[in-house]
Amino acid sequence: MNRIFPLAQLEIIGCREVPAKDPAMPRLLSAIFAIRDSDTVLFPPYTLGEQEVIGPVISNREEFDDLVATEEVSPHDFGQARSGHEHWLDDGGDVNYVPDHEARRKLAAIFQDRCELAKEALGTGSWLEACTHAMVAYSANPRNLVPLSYRAAAEYRMASEASNAGPIHAELALTELIAKTHLPVPDFQTLYRELAEKSLVKPRAKVAECDPQ
């Protein structure tokens, strides 16, 4: 039977991920909890209920400290665990612990803004800049194909202009592989190649949004 730990007895001491910060890839994080006034540490995977953590991996502070030292987890002291809160990384590289509706609203805003910046960079021929903005947007909302199409279009243009396009083709193939979870590769190729042919910057427009997971 899964053990249940009330949030009222827990503190946030870190997250299971070691997020990239150059550039920062915004996303929800998997919190690591500690039982207050105890050596017990609770690791993902677990089920997070409204008022409890259900079925975590149970360990101790020594193992947590060892994982921090080997950079396999990230330490973050946010104190008391709270119901309805999310542990997340923003696009400035800051880790936050805020109400879940606020985290998701901010992730949606990052997604929207970075998609628009990627589209504008693509239109001005700033290929690397377009790639970066696109991947930040996709990290904020990996359920949406739009930023991947911008990144692939930029990679396609870079490959067409490079004297040694091997590494760029490898990156493009990886982008196609990621996009395959959303759209068949031939359809995705048609999409990003059409985008690659466009060179004029159009007015900033709202991009279709999905709630990030």
pLDDT by 10-residue block (mean), the chain, 213 residues: 93 93 92 96 96 97 97 94 96 95 98 97 94 97 97 94 84 96 96 83 51 51
Residue 1 CA to residue 14 CA, distance in Å, equals: 26
Residue at which a domain ends, from 44, 73, 93:
93
Q: Are residues 67 and 22 in the same domain?
A: yes
| 203 in a structural domain | no
| 162 in a structural domain | yes
What is the pLDDT at residue 201? 44
Residue 26 CA to residue 147 CA, distance in Å, equals: 14
Exposure of 69 in the CB half-sphere (CA atoms within 13 A)? 6
Answer yes or no: are the C-beta atoms of 54 and 4 closer than 8 Å.
yes
Determine how many CB atoms are found less than 10 A away from the CB of residue 1. 4
Q: Are residues 17 and 87 in the same domain?
A: yes
What is the pLDDT at residue 147? 97
Answer yes or no: are the C-beta atoms of 44 and 30 closer than 8 Å.
yes
Q: Are residues 55 and 81 in the same domain?
A: yes
What is the pLDDT at residue 166? 82
Determine how many CB atoms are found less than 10 A away from the CB of residue 127. 22
Residue at which a domain ends, from 42, 69, 93:
93
Residue at which a domain ends, from 93, 127, 145:
93
The residue written with tokens 């985290």 in the block is 103
Q: Are residues 73 and 138 in the same domain?
A: no
| 170 in a structural domain | yes
Q: Are residues 174 and 135 in the same domain?
A: yes
DSSP label at residue 21: B
Domain span holding position 133: 104-196
What is the pLDDT at residue 205? 52
Q: Are residues 117 and 192 in the same domain?
A: yes
| 179 in a structural domain | yes
Q: Are residues 62 and 110 in the same domain?
A: no
What is the pLDDT at residue 105? 98
Residue 60 CA to residue 67 CA, distance in Å, equals: 11
What is the pLDDT at residue 209? 55
> CA of 206: how far to CAs of 19, 117, 148, 161, in Å?
28, 12, 16, 30
Q: Are residues 84 and 163 in the same domain?
A: no
User: Could you give the number of structural domains in the chain?
Assistant: 2
Residue among 48, 202, 17 nearest 116 (CA): 202
To 10 degrees, what angle do helices 127-140 and 146-161 make? Answer: 160
Q: Are residues 109 and 76 in the same domain?
A: no
What is the pLDDT at residue 185? 96
Q: Are residues 77 and 147 in the same domain?
A: no
What are the residues whose beta carbons fall under 8 Å from the beta carbon of 73, sequence distance 6 or more? 14, 15, 16, 17, 18, 32, 64, 67
| Residue 14, phi then psi, degrees to nearest 5 | 170, -165
